[in-house]
């Protein structure tokens, strides 16, 4: 068994290798367990099996270590398209049995179902983090006003609610040599371009192969590349709240980009 603070590796009596995660806040383990099960139910991208959880700990399978490959990236792209297509009841919908007050990393994330993507994205995925960053002194009044103006220009979308991983940066995609696995989700119903924009933001091995296979499986609407900055607002603002000024400039640039 190795120990790295909140995450430990262990071997069960039957020889299975697992990861034991300690929840950082009340409800965090329940939210992650529900998210993993919801993603697994789509049957499209591998996720670790949830063995057990309580208010303090989550026990899941350990993903074998490997290297990314072009063929695995293509399978990941097709699987991610299938995951998104599996859908959600509404924008902002939590996973079944998942709490409404959830988390993305260590930042709070409210899952409040809504029918209209543009207004929901502004109200529940942009402005709450602008307020938190403003309260912390990272943004001033004029910068907060820029985000508020940007929210009035979010275009309407005809996309149905997709089943999102919700925190799809490179560190949450693990490669076992044959497949890409998803870990640490902040799953909810949302716009599928948001997951893809996060892959662009923080990089992903063989990203062109991932996107090419994704688009063959589920073509994207015209202009999706021009909307990348819009969808990156959410993760950039979350990172601004969690890590401060180092991400504030990128968040402001994303707001100005559309």
Query: Which residue carries 């529900």 as its tokens?
Result: 34
**Residue 137 has what pLDDT?**
97
pLDDT score of 2 more than 60: no
Share of the chain residues as helix, strand and coil, in percent rounded to the nearest 5: 45, 15, 35
Q: How far apart are CA 22 and CA 4, in angstroms?
A: 11
Report pLDDT digits (tens) over 5-37. 488 888 877 878 889 999 888 889 999 999 999
**Top-confidence residue, 13 or 252:** 252
Length reported for the chain: 258
Nearest in space to 199 (alpha carbons), one of 186, 212, 210: 210
Catalytic residues: 167
Nearest in space to 192 (alpha carbons), one of 121, 102, 253: 121
**Residue 109 contacts residue 103 (beta carbons within 8 Å):** yes
Q: Could you tell me the pTM of the whole model?
A: 0.94
pLDDT score of 3 more than 50: no
pLDDT score of 117 more than 70: yes
Backbone region of residue 114 per phi and psi (left: phi > 0; alpha: psi in -120 to 50; beta: other values): beta
- Token digits for 245? 């000024």
Tell me the pLDDT of the chain averaged across its residues. Answer: 94
- Residue 13 gets which letter from DSSP? T
- Taking the C-alpha atoms of 18, 51, 95 and 207 in order, what is their torsion angle to the nearest 10 degrees? 30
**Top-confidence residue, 3 or 47:** 47
- Three-state SS for 192? helix
**Residue 60 contacts residue 51 (beta carbons within 8 Å):** yes
- The backbone torsions φ and ψ at residue 70, rounded to the nearest 5 degrees and listed phi first, read -65, -40
Q: Distance between alpha carbon 32 and the CA centroid of its chain, in Å?
A: 12
């Amino acid at each position: 068994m190795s120990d790295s603070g909140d995450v430990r590796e262990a071997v069960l009596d039957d020889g299975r290798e697992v990861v034991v995660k300690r929840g950082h806040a009340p409800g965090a383990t329940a939210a992650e367990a529900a998210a993993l099960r919801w993603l697994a139910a789509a049957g499209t991208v591998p996720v670790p099996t949830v063995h057990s959880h309580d208010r303090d700990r989550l026990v899941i399978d350990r993903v074998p270590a490997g290297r990314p490959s072009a063929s695995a990236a293509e399978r990941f792209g097709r699987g991610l398209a299938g995951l998104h297509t599996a859908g959600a009841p509404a924008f902002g919908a939590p996973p079944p049995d998942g709490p409404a007050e959830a988390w993305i990393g260590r930042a709070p994330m409210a899952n409040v179902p809504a029918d209209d993507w543009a207004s929901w994205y502004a109200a529940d995925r942009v402005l709450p983090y602008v307020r938190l960053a403003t309260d912390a002194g990272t943004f001033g009044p004029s910068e907060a006003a820029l985000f508020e103006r940007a929210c009035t220009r979010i275009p309407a979308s005809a996309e149905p609610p997709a089943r999102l991983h919700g925190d799809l940066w490179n560190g949450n995609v693990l490669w076992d040599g044959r497949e890409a696995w998803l870990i640490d989700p902040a799953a909810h119903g949302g716009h599928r371009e948001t997951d893809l924009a996060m892959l662009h933001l923080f990089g992903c091995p063989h990203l062109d192969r991932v996107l090419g296979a994704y688009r063959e499986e589920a073509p994207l609407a015209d202009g999706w590349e021009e909307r990348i900055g819009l969808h990156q607002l959410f993760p950039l603002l979350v990172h601004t709240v969690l890590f401060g000024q180092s991400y504030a400039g990128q968040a402001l640039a994303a707001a100005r980009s559309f």
